[in-house]
Each structure stands twice: as structure tokens, then as C-alpha cells.
Amino acid sequence: MNIVHVSAEYYPFAKVGGLADVVYGLSHQQTKMRMRVSVFIPEYSLLDREQLGEGERVYEGRLKNVSYSVVRYTHQKTAVYLFRFSDRLFDRDSIYGQKDDFTRFLQFSLACSDFLLQKKVKADVVHLHDWQAAYASFLIKPLGCKIVLTLHNLEHQGRGPIGELLQLAPSVPWIGKDEVNLLEIGIDQADVVVTVSPRYKEEILTWQGSWGLDAALGRNRHKLHGIINGLGDAPFNPRDDRFLTEKLQGESIQSILSFKKSAKKELQELLGKRLITPLIVTVSRLAHQKGLDFMTHLCEMTETLGCSYLILGIPATNELGKHFAYLKEKYRDSPYVHISLEFNLRLSHLAFAAADFTYIPSLFEPCGLTQMIGIRYKSIPIARATGGLINTIHDYNDKNIPQQERNGYLFSGWGFDPSDSAIRRALQDYNNKKNFEDHLLNLSKFRFSWDEPERAYFALYKS
């Protein structure tokens, strides 16, 4: 089977969040299953070129207003095609957040579609990811291939003026609206639409969770499927993590405790600061979706609760940057709170390895990888019950779940009290040596590999 993934991100070349890891993890697993896999991404000026190696220019094309070229690379047996544009639309200092994102990624979809229609790459399945690739679903219909669209986060939809689309696209059937929604077009045109967890599929079919797409999702609910993401061995593998001095040597409690102790020591040396134990960590993009009020509240509660809290992330807006810069300065000398607002791979890996608990107070969470990474590094999740967090975390108090399948603490609602209660339960277990060690040992059962998600996608490809 010939599969083409079209995405704005792909690990390790272009990464902002979990999208890059998911597209890499799924495509890598498909390659292992002896499928012929290609990945299309824009050629950003900020690409990690050291990892690209030598490429081959395979095509030069022309759209309405711009020319483009395609360079082919090979990464771990996957063909990676980079799309370069003559108007330098992707020569920016960030992947997203530009005023012309609608135009940039519309051009990307147009170029990918044109390249596919020239039959330069064979495609039995074209798998589109999020709004940045969604418009291709309409343009590649003549190929007769299966078209799959994965919704990684419905909040981001690719809305823009119809006039912009009319200027760029060869044909547009959506006349009569002042605004066009690229993700809505993808939902209508794709053969299969996948959410990144079963629970998120249920949530987007409600008015509150649809982000204004309730009509489109309602008329296409027959082709909606929910598949939980996997977590590949790269880059998060505590047994072979290049950022850690001491790796995880085994699954015995002695190995786990030694691993955590070493990581805590190394983390504190890197921070230049002592943090008391137990340590709660949040590693996240600092956007409103992630539950910032809960994070701020926990900063205020740490001394009372008797724990420390590390926040590691990049603020999504200047306003949020000012808020977290204030908190960072406020707790600069505190042994209870530390805030780092820089992108630092070593620090993020050390944070997961050192953490006793991972705090994930998301207001909504389509899937979430943080809880999976934390569990792999023997950090127990404390999370708000929403989206993929419900599918991957089973509360220790849930009597409807077999004990060996329980792996964390969940809380519901919008107030701080349920969160405080979940954290207190976690800290009580931490102070009960046998309970806590039993919980740590049980985390070894949860691997979150790509085996099962890949099989689920393959079944949809063939359906």
C-alpha cells in the first residue's frame, strides 16, 4: 500500500507540538509494516538541516500566483518531500503565528495537490493532517484514492476570506460565503475523518466541543472515527535517552527509584536550585487550552500542600508571556516553584525523568502525549478528565476498572477544589511507601505503542 501523509509538522525536522511526533510515529510504524510511505511538509527556513542529509530535486511546478519546487529526502526508509515556494512564504522565524497563515498553508495544499495530480508519487491513500492540509481533500478527488483527514485539534480551523481563496485556487465551489473554512471543507470532502481519541470524537459532536462546526460534523458523523495516538520509541525512551546521564536500567523498584533520584539531582544542578520532594511537573505549550488558571493556583498552593511544582513551556501569546514572566520572578528563590519559559530539550526530558507526578489540567485535550511520556518515565499523571486523557488515564479510585489498569488521578469540573483533592490523594499515596511503589511498578504495563493505532488506521484505509 502506498500512503502519503500531508502535514505542517514532522519530527525531527519541523516540530512545534505533538503533531510532529504523531505524524512521525504513525508513518514510521507503517514503514516497519512494509508499506511505502511518503510525507509532504513545507520547506521552512528553520528546518533542522543537519538531519536532512542529501536531497534530490524531483519536480518544479507552477500555481496561479507562485512557482514551487519539490526536493526528496529519505529519513529512516520514509520518503520526505519538502515543498519550496518562490515567494518565500515559509521563510519565517516560526512555523505558525503569522498573519498570512491562511495563505501560506493554502498554497501548500495547492502545491501538494498539483504534485499528486502529476502522479509523481503513487498514492493509494492520502492522509491529511489538520486544517493546513485539509483543502487538498477537494483538489485530489480525480485521483480516486482513499482520502483520510485526522483532526488533531478542532480549535484551529483555517478560516479566511473567500476572496483570498478565489485568487489562489483553480476552482472553488463554495461561492456565497464571505469566509471560507478549510477544515470544514476537509471534513466534507474526506472519505474518512479521524479524531485522535475516541472520547474526543464524542466531545466534538456536542455543541460545546464543536468549535462552531456542529453542522459539518453532524452531517458527516457517519465517517467519524476515534483512534488514540501512540507514542514512538523516539525521542522519549528512558532506557536510551541521550539527555539523561543515568538511564532507566530495568523495571524493578530499585531501578526505578535510582533512575528518579539521579534525574532529580541532575535537574536541580541544571536549574541551579533545590526543589523539595515530591515534585510535580507540567511540560506544555502555555495556552489557555492547557488550564493556565489551574497552574497558577497550584503555584500558590505548593507550600501548603508540601510539594514543589515545575512549569516548563513557551507562552502562546505576549500577554501570557507577561503573566508567566511575573510568576517566574515571583518564585525565583522559592524551593516550591520553578518556571522555565525557554525551549530546552534536555530540560524537558530531565523534567519527565525527575517528576513524581505530571500535572495536566487541560480544559480540553484531543489526545495528549504528556501523560504517555510521563508514564513511560515513571511519573504518575494528575489530570482533568477530558478528551484523550480519559482514554489513557484510569483513576486509582475507579472501582469499575481492574486495579492493574489504574494509572493516575483524574478530576472533573472547572473549580480548583476537585484539582486540589486529586493532588492531595496523590501526595497521600506518595507518603505511603508501599502504595507509591506499587503504583510506580504498575506503570510498566502501559506502553502506548503505535502497533494498535496503526492497525486501526490500516483497517480504515482498506474500508
Computed from CA positions of residues 171, 177, 179, 181, in that sequence, does the dihedral angle turn out positive or negative? negative
pLDDT tens-digit series, residues 314-358: 999 999 999 999 999 999 999 999 999 988 989 999 999 999 999
From CA 419, how far away is CA 359, in angstroms rounded? 10
What confidence score (pLDDT) does residue 352 get? 98
Q: Where in the chain is the domain with CATH 3.40.50.2000?
A: 2-230+451-462, 253-445
**Rounded average pLDDT over 446-456:** 96
Q: How is the beta sheet containing 224-226 ordered, strand by strand?
A: 56-62, 67-75, 78-85, 36-42, 2-6, 125-129, 146-151, 192-195, 224-226
Is the bond preceding residue 12 a cis peptide, omega within 30 degrees? yes
**CATH superfamily assigned to domain 2-230+451-462:** Glycogen Phosphorylase B; (3.40.50.2000)
Q: Which CATH code fits 253-445? A: 3.40.50.2000
Q: Model pTM?
A: 0.94
CA 376 from centre of chain: 16
CA distance 56 to 110: 21
pLDDT of 358-414, one tens digit each?
999 999 999 999 999 999 999 999 999 999 999 999 999 999 999 999 999 999 999
pLDDT of residue 343: 83
| 135-188 residue pLDDT tens | 999 999 999 999 999 999 999 999 998 888 888 886 666 655 788 999 999 999
- Is residue 284 within 8 A of residue 294, CB to CB? The reply is no
Q: What is the pLDDT of residue 322?
A: 97
Q: What is the pLDDT of residue 172?
A: 66
DSSP letter for each residue of 57-112: EEEEEE-SS-EEEEEEEEETTEEEEEEEETT-TT-SSSSS--TTHHHHHHHHHHHH
pLDDT of residue 228: 98
